[in-house]
Structure 1
Amino acid sequence: MEKPLLLDVNGLTVSFRTDRGDIRAVDDVSFSLREGEILSIVGESGSGKSVTLQSLLGLHDPKTTRVDGAVAFRGKRILDMPQSAMRRIRGKEIGLISQDPMTALTPVYTIGWQIAEQIREHERISARAARARAVELLAEVGFSNPNEAVDRFPHQLSGGMRQRAVIAMAISCQPALLVADEPTTALDVTVQAQVLDLLLRLRRDHGAAIILITHDMGVVSEVADHVAVMYAGRIVERGKTADLFDNPLHPYTWGLMASIPPLTGVRPDRLVSIGGMPPLPGSIPEGCGFAPRCRFAQADCRKRPPQRRHGDQSALCILDGDERLEKRREILGAQEYA
C-alpha cells in the first residue's frame, strides 16, 4: 500500500536580485516525497542543492531572493505562508540538520540548553521537563554520558558529537520530515558511517521521511530510496536508487559514478574525473547546463534538452537508445545495464 504524500515540490525556481538583474540559481525543480521515504539530492558543490532546500523551507531573504513555484507540505502550500506560520512548522514538523554543526550551534550556550529551547518553542513544557527530554535525546543519538554532555558547550565536543547534538535538536519534536544538508561532509569515515546508521534508525523508529543532500554517490547507494541528480540548478536525472545505479541515463551521473573506487574487479590506475567546474549562476547555458563539460555534447545541446524516460526513471539529455549505451560504456566500461 502506497504511503501518503508528505512533500510535493512543483516548478521551484529561485533567483537572486543583483545590479545586473535577476540571476537564476534553481530552475524548475520538481520532486515529491512520501512518508517514511529517503530522497537523496546529489551533485557537486554549486549545483543548487542547498539553495533548493533553504528556499522551500523559507530560509531566504525575500528582499534579495525571488522564489517561484509551489511547495505543498501535508497539503498546505507553505511558500504562501507568513513567516510566523513557517516558524511553527520548522523545528516541529520539519527538522533541519545543518551541514556545519559548529555554526548551527550557538557557542555561548550549552547544547542541552539549546535543545531544550527548541522543545519549549514548540511545546508547552517546563524547563525541567525540557532538560530531561534533552538528556534522553542525547542518549538516543549515541552520547555515552548524556547527563554530563547536556551541560557541555559546543567547543567542548568533537565534530562527530556536535553533529549528533544537531541531530538531537532536529528530532526533538519528532518531525515528520528531516532535511539533512550534507551531514557527513566534515566527518571522518568511521563517524560518517555512525551518522548514516543513526539516520536510518531514526527513519525506522520514528517513521521520519528524510531529504539527504550529498555529493557522495556511495552514501546515496547505502541509504536512499530515491535519487535526484542535480546540476546547474536543474534536476538532470531522477529515479529509484536501485534503478539509477543499475541503469544511469545522464552523462553527469556516469561521471559521478565513475569517480567512485570499485570494491571488486580490476583496480583502475586512475579514477575518471569530470573536467572543468560547475557554472556559476548567471553563466549557465540556455540549453543543457552540462554541455560545456560533456565529452558527448552535440549541436542540439544548445537547446533545452528533452526529458527521456526509462520506466520510472527520467533524464534531461538528447542521448537515447543504443547511442546512450555506447557512450556510457566509454565512461563506465563494458558492464551491461538493465
Structure 2
Amino acid sequence: MTGSNKPLLLDVKGLTVSFATDKGLVKAVDDVSFSVRQGEILSIVGESGSGKSVTLLSLLGLHDAKTTRVDGAVAFQGERILELPASRMRSIRGKGIGLISQDPMTALTPVYTIGWQIEEQIRAHEKLSARAARKRAIELLAEVGFANPAEAVGRYPHQLSGGMRQRAVIAMAISCNPALIVADEPTTALDVTVQAQVLDLLLRLRKDFGSAIILITHDMGVVAEVADQVAVMYAGRIVESGPAKVIFSHPLHPYTWGLMASIPPLTGPRPERLISIGGMPPTPENIPEGCGFAPRCRFARIECNARPPLRRLEDQAGLCVLDGDERESLRRTVLSLEVAA
C-alpha cells in the first residue's frame, strides 16, 4: 500500500470471515488484503456494517471458533498468526498488539478499579512485582492525561467520564509498548473537544513509542486528520485503498466520493442540506455477487453485476468498472474540484 522503506509490521492477504447461520455460511468479510508498516497509521473507513470491526477482531483471534470461519493469511512481524494456538495469541495480544475498544464502558470490568485492570495486563506480559506494576499504571495514566493519576488509579469505571474511561483503555492498550495499536472507533461516543484530545494522544503515542496504528472509523474528517494510508470498506470488501493524500485528492470509487461529499464544507456558501448516500448498506446475507455498492450507486450499469475489476493507479487501487476520463468526469458531478483537492 505504500512505497515506504519502513519494515513491514502486519501483512493481511485474502482475509475472509464467514459466520454460521441457519442458511449456511455467510461471508461478512470477503478477500480483504492490506498491510501496515512500522510507525504508520492506517485508517479503515466505512459505514456501520461494512466489516471494519469484524476484520480486525478476527485477525486478532477474538472470534468464536465454533460459529466463525476465518480464511486467508495474516503475518505479524513475520509470524503467521491465524494458525497459532490460543496461548500464543494471548501472548501477542497486549504485548505485540494493543486493542482500544469502541466502547470503553464494556471494555472495562465494572467491579475492578482501572488501576487493577491495567496492572493485571502488565503482569500478564511483564515480569514485574505488584508494586512496580502499580507504579507503571500511575505513570501510564499520567501519560494519557489524567490530572491526578495516583488518585485515579483507585477509581472504578463508573466514577469516570466517557473521555476518561477512553483514556484508561488507551493506557491499558499501550501498557506493554506494543508495536501495533488497533483503535476501534475510539472517538465515536465522545464530544468534539474530547475527540480532538484523543486523536492528539494517538499521534503522540506514534511519535513517542513508534507504534503503528490501525484506526477504524466512519468519520472522514478524522481520517484526513491523522491517517497515512486509507482503506475504504463497503459490504465486507476494501473498495479503495492508497495514501491518504491521494485518496482525498483523487478518489477512485463512487462510494468514496459519497463519503467525502457528505463532509460539511469549511469555506464557501452554506449548503441547504448535506449530501447523503441513498439507501442502506446490505446485510452480509444480502450482499450482491457483483459490486456490493451497485444498488446504491447512481452510476451503476450492467457490468456491475459481475465482480468489479481492480483498477490500479500508482499506489492507489479501487474496485470499480469506471476508469479513465469517464471516471474523472463522473467524479466531478459528485465532488467539486475544491472539495476533492
User: TM (normalized to structure 2)?
Assistant: 0.98
The question of 1:173 aligning with 2:176 is answered: yes
Residue 333 of structure 1 deviates from its aligned partner by 2.5
Matches within 5 A, 1:110-121: 110-121=113-124
Per-residue CA distance 1:135-176 (angstroms, 9 max, x = gap):
000000000000100000000000000000000000000000
Q: Quote how far apart the aligned CAs of 1:321 are.
A: 1.2
Contact 1:35 1:208 survives alignment (8 Å): yes
Amino acid at match of 1:189: V
Give matches, 1:278-317, under 5 Å.
Answer: 278-317=281-320
CA contact 2:96–2:178 (8 Å) conserved in 1: yes
Corresponding position: 1:241 with 2:244: yes
Task: Find the aligned partners of 1:334 and 1:149 in 2 and give their Cα distance.
Answer: 49
Q: Distance in 2 between matches of 1:185 and 1:79?
A: 29
1:332 partner letter: L
List per-residue Cα deviations over 1:276-309 (Å, max 9, x = no partner). Answer: 0000011000000000000000000000001111
Cα separation, 1, equivalents of 2:61 and 2:150? 35
By how many angstroms is 1:240 displaced? Answer: 0.1
Deviations 1:102-130 (A, max 9, x none): 00000000000000000000011111110
Q: Which residue of 1 aligns with 2:102?
A: 99
| Aligned with 2:146 (options 143, 146, 156) | 143
* 1:204 paired residue number: 207
Correspondence for 1:90: 93
CA distance in 1, matches of 2:265, 2:312: 28
TM-fit CA distance, 1:206: 0.1
Give CA-to-partner distance per residue, 1:194-215, whole Å, 9 cap, x none.
0000000000000000000000
Distance 1:240 1:336 in 2: 17
What's the secondary structure of 2:286's corresponding residue? coil
How far apart are 1:265 and its partner, in Å? 2.1
Aligned position for 1:260: 263
Counterpart of 1:224 in structure 2 is: 227
- Aligned 8 A contact 2:248 2:340 in 1: no
The SS at the match of 2:284 is: coil
Letter aligned with residue 281 of structure 1: P
Deviations 1:24-52 (A, max 9, x none): 00000000011000000000000000000
Trace 1:42-53 onto structure 2 (pairs within 5 A). 42-53=45-56
Residue matched to 1:182:
185
Partner of residue 29, structure 2: 26
Inter-CA distance 133–282: structure 2 relative to 1 (3 Å threshold): same
Amino acid at match of 1:159: G
1:315-326 residue pairs with structure 2 within 5 A? 315-326=318-329
**8 A contact 2:162–2:190 mirrored in 1:** yes
Kept in 1: contact 2:115–2:137 (CA 8 A): yes
Give a deviation string over 1:188-233, Cα, whole Å, max 9, x none: 0000000000000000000000000000000000000000000000
1:94 CA drift (Å): 0.3
TM-score normalised over the length of structure 1: 0.99
SS of equivalent to 1:14: strand
Q: Distance in 2 between the 1:286 and 1:175 partners?
A: 39
Structure 2 gaps, min length 5 = none
Where 1:195 maps in the other structure, the secondary structure is helix
Range 271-280 or range 327-336, more displaced: 327-336
Q: Over aligned residue pairs, what C-alpha RMSD do you find?
A: 1.0
Offset, 1:310: 1.4
Q: 8 Å contact 1:329–1:335 — kept in the other structure?
A: no
Q: Distance in 2 between matches of 1:93 and 1:321?
A: 42
Deviation at 1:16, TM superposition (A): 0.3
Q: Is the 8 A contact 2:94 2:121 kept in 1?
A: yes
* 2: CA distance, partners of 1:82 / 1:63: 15
Partner of 1:36: 39
Output the amino acid matched with 1:308: R
Which residue pairs with 1:271 in the alignment? Answer: 274
Q: Name the structure 1 match of 2:69.
A: 66
Does 2:217 correspond to 1:214? yes
Q: Distance in 1 between matches of 2:284 and 2:5?
A: 38
